Structure 1
């Protein structure tokens, strides 16, 4: 029984802050991805303006 409690404690300690770590990295990746999409959109708009695209 003592071994089962010890394994449970090791498991809980190992995964205690894992959710925060995953969420923090997910938001960081999402922010960079959003910034990259804005830069690509801005590039496409400026390319169309400088090449004389008619926005009719």
Structure 2
């Protein structure tokens, strides 16, 4: 039982900060993806306005 608890403690210490780093990278990638989509929307709107598209 002592070996199991030691193994558990080592495992917890090794992966303590792992989820934080994963979430940080995920949200950074998600932010860049949203920013790119926003740029596409702005480009499409400017393109439609410059070509005289009727928004009615």
Give 3-state SS (helix, strand or coil) of 1:53's partner: coil
TM-score where L is the length of structure 2: 0.82
Segments of structure 2 that go 5 or more residues without pairing to the other structure are: none
Give 3-state SS (helix, strand or coil) of 1:37's partner: helix
Counterpart residue number, 1:47: 47
Distance 1:5 1:51 in 2: 69
Give the root-mean-square deviation of aligned CA atoms.
1.3
TM-score where L is the length of structure 1: 0.82
User: Following TM superposition, where does structure 1 have runs of at least 4 consecutive aligned residues deviating by more than 2 angstroms?
Assistant: none
Segments of structure 1 that go 5 or more residues without pairing to the other structure are: none
